[in-house]
């Protein structure tokens, strides 16, 4: 008998690392250390860039999306250091959002919705029966496969559209609002986007997919019981 131990991750960790830490460090550098707005923005971008680099190293395999985000971070930082324009630092966040959004939408077109990898652990929950049910639904072998695959695509599309919208709002704000305003407002925009993303994608994709997985697992269990009884 083998015991499976799963390492639970905090779903809010990316939000904390990409929003709370940069925002807090910006005010720390600007107000406590007295650095310029540009310098504070530059230093507060180090943690998200380092996190992206670490994710690539940790996975030990090529990850196109993570690589694109890393490139956007590095290029934006270099351009900002050369130009000294703090607004360009703010546009960097829009570049990251648009890169992720485009990657997600392209993955849907290619038939491999990118957000599925993030959703599956929450629906399967290390349950062997649900894992098998997921595989049958995803492979097209189950009666509900067509609906399942459609909802799977919808889940990723919602996130792709939400991140594109966030990108446009950030971009407009970066060049129309004061830099100090966009520093904290950018975090609010991302938090609202994530919240709406969870609610809408859950209603249009995640929730129905969970019901289909549960129903398919229950159907398989009933078949086993009938077979044993016979």
pLDDT beyond 70 at 84:
no
pLDDT beyond 90 at 132:
yes
Window from 44-53, 59-68, 146-155 with minimum mean pLDDT: 59-68
pTM assigned to the model: 0.72
Residue whose pair of structure tokens reads 């959004």 in the numeric block: 101
The confidence score (pLDDT) of residue 66 equals 52
Q: In terms of C-beta density within 10 A (0-12 exposed, 13-18 middle, 19 or more buried), how is residue 130 classed? A: buried
Residue whose pair of structure tokens reads 């269990």 in the numeric block: 221
CA–CA gap between residue 197 and residue 158 (Å, rounded): 7
Q: Report, as an integer, the average pLDDT of 157-162.
A: 95
Taking Cα atoms as reference points, which of 44, 45, 49 lies closest to residue 67?
49
Q: Report, as an integer, the average pLDDT of 186-204.
A: 90
Taking Cα atoms as reference points, which of 151, 133, 153, 137 lies closest to residue 218?
133
């Amino acid at each position: 008998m083998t015991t499976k131990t799963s390492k639970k991750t905090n779903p809010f960790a990316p939000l904390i690392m990409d929003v709370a830490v940069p925002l807090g460090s910006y005010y720390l550098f600007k107000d406590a250390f007295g650095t310029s707005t540009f310098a504070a923005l530059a230093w507060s971008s180090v943690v998200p860039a380092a996190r992206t680099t670490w994710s690539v190293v940790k996975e030990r395999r090529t990850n196109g999306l993570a690589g694109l985000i890393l490139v956007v971070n590095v290029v934006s930082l270099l351009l900002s250091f050369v130009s000294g324009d703090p607004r360009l630092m703010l546009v960097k966040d829009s570049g990251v959002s648009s890169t992720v959004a485009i990657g997600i939408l392209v993955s849907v077109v290619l038939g491999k919705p990118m957000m599925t990898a993030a959703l599956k652990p929450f629906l399967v929950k290390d349950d062997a029966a649900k894992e098998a049910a997921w595989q049958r639904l995803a492979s097209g072998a189950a009666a509900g496969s067509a609906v399942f695959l459609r909802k799977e695509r919808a889940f990723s599309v919602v996130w792709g559209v939400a991140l594109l919208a966030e990108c446009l709002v950030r971009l407009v704000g970066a060049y129309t609002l004061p830099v100090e305003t966009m520093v904290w407002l950018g975090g609010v925009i991302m938090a609202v986007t994530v919240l709406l993303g969870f609610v809408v994608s859950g209603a249009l994709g995640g929730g129905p997919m969970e019901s289909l997985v549960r129903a398919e697992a229950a159907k398989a269990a009933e078949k086993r019981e009938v077979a044993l009884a016979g």
